[in-house]
């Protein structure tokens, strides 16, 4: 949706310099187009607007649009901020009085894992109950188990 709004109805509006005077054309960008210019998703663009880090869109019916000039202005501000960045000198030694104070960590209310008490063990260890197949009594099953153990020992 790349729409153009002209504030003048004359044919001379397209001949004027964009952004100057009342007859300047204003280009509108959709949410998808703005997100593509910023290199982010549409949802991330919505978050930027909600956080106040990007201008709010205009609504025309169901369409959500931004003026192209507003998007370019925000990008120019970000570019200016990035151009003002200066590297931090890492070779410079600071006197101890100018170093930031390091406070000891605050004690947590939750004890570390090694200080936790082990869970109490039950007095009787759990044994796995054997299910007896139908038609076999427990005595036959015990005799069969002993025969298998003696065969495995040979």
Looking at residue 10, its pLDDT comes to 40
Residues with Cβ within 8 Å of 57's Cβ and at least 6 positions away in sequence, in order, are 31, 49, 64, 65, 66
Q: How far apart are CA 40 and CA 19, in angstroms?
A: 27
Looking at residue 110, its pLDDT comes to 60
Query: Which has more pLDDT, 41 or 9?
Result: 41
pLDDT digits (tens, 9 = 90+) for 53-72: 999 999 999 999 999 999 99
Q: How confident is the model at residue 141 (pLDDT cuts 50, 70, 90)?
A: confident
Residue found under tokens 């300047």: 24
Looking at residue 111, its pLDDT comes to 60
Residues with Cβ within 8 Å of 10's Cβ and at least 6 positions away in sequence, in order, are 23
CA 94 to chain centre: 37
- Report the predicted TM-score, pTM, of the whole model to 2 decimal places: 0.43
CATH topology of domain 3-83: Multidrug-efflux Transporter Regulator; Chain: A; Domain 2 (1.10.1660)
Domain ranges of the chain: 3-83
Query: Which has more pLDDT, 96 or 74?
Result: 74
């Amino acid at each position: 949706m790349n729409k153009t709004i002209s504030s003048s109805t004359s044919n001379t509006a397209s001949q004027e310099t964009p952004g100057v005077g009342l007859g300047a054309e204003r280009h509108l960008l959709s949410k998808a187009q703005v997100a593509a210019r910023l290199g982010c998703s549409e949802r991330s663009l919505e978050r930027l607007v909600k956080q106040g880090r990007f201008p709010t869109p205009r609504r025309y019916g169901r369409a959500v649009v931004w003026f192209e000039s507003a998007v370019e202005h925000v990008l120019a501000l970000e570019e200016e901020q990035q151009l003002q960045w200066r590297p931090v000198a890492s070779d410079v030694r600071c006197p101890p009085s100018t170093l930031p104070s390091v406070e000891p960590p605050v004690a947590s209310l939750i004890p570390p894992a090694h200080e936790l008490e082990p869970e109490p063990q039950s007095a009787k260890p759990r044994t796995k109950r054997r299910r007896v197949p139908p038609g076999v009594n427990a005595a036959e099953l015990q005799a069969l188990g002993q025969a298998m153990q003696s065969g495995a020992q040979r």
